Structure 1
Amino acid sequence: MTSDHDHHGRPAPLEIVMRHLFTKAASLAAVAMLAFTAAQPAQATQSREGARDAAVAPAYFEMTDITRSTFIVKLVEERQINHARALVNGETTVEPHVVGRIVKRPADYNPRWSFHYDPQTVSFFDYAIEICDATVPYVEDHLDEAGGPFLPGNVFCPWTSTLVREVPAP
Structure 2
Amino acid sequence: MRRTITTRIGILAAVAMLALAQPAAAKQADDVSPRAADGDAYFEFDYPPAPDKFIFKLSDPAKIKQARDILSGAERDRTHVMGRIVKRPAPYNPGWDFTLDPASTSFFEVAIEVCDASIRYVEDHLDEAGGAFLPGGHWCPWGSRLLREVHAPTG
The two structures, once aligned, show a CA RMSD in angstroms of 2.2
Q: 1:70 to 1:20 in 2, by over 3 A?
A: closer
Secondary structure, in 3 states, of the residue corresponding to 1:93? coil
The 3-state SS of whatever aligns with 2:121 is helix
Q: Hey, what does 2:17 align to over in structure 1?
A: 33
TM-score by length of 2: 0.83
Identity %: 53
Asked if 1:59 is matched to 2:41, the reply is yes
Segment of structure 1 superposing worse, 56-65 or 20-29: 20-29
Structure 2 distance, partners of 1:22, 1:62, is 37
Aligned residue for 2:67, secondary structure, equals helix
Task: Mark the structure with the bigger radius of gyration.
Answer: 1
Output the TM-score relative to the length of structure 1: 0.76
Q: Corresponding residue for 1:154?
A: 137
- Alpha-carbon shift at residue 36 of structure 1 (Å): 4.5
Matched position secondary structure for 1:33: helix
In the alignment, which residue of structure 1 is the partner of 2:112? 129
Q: Deviations over 1:131-156 (max 9, x none)?
A: 00000000000000000000011111
Shift of 1:23: 5.2
Q: How far apart are the structure 2 equivalents of 1:140 and 1:36?
A: 26
- Distance 1:26-1:149 versus aligned 2 partners, 3 A rule: closer
Secondary structure of 1:107's match?
coil
1:72 aligns with 2:64: no
- Does the C-alpha gap of structure 1 residues 21 and 144 become closer, same or farther in structure 2, counting only changes over 3 Å? closer
Higher helix share: 1
List per-residue Cα deviations over 1:87-140 (Å, max 9, x = no partner). Answer: 111222120100100100000111210000000110000000000000000000
CA distance in 2, matches of 1:161, 1:23: 26
Per the alignment, do residues 26 and 79 of structure 1 end up closer, same or farther by CA in structure 2, a change over 3 Å counting? Answer: same
Deviating above 3 A after TM superposition, structure 1's stretches of 4 or more consecutive aligned residues are 19-24, 35-38
Distance 1:145 1:21, change over 3 A: closer
In the other structure, the counterpart of 1:83 is 66
User: Structure 2: where are the runs of 5+ without partners?
Assistant: 29-36
Residue 143 of structure 2 aligns to a residue whose secondary structure is coil
Query: Which residue of 86, 89, 105 maps to 1:103?
Result: 86
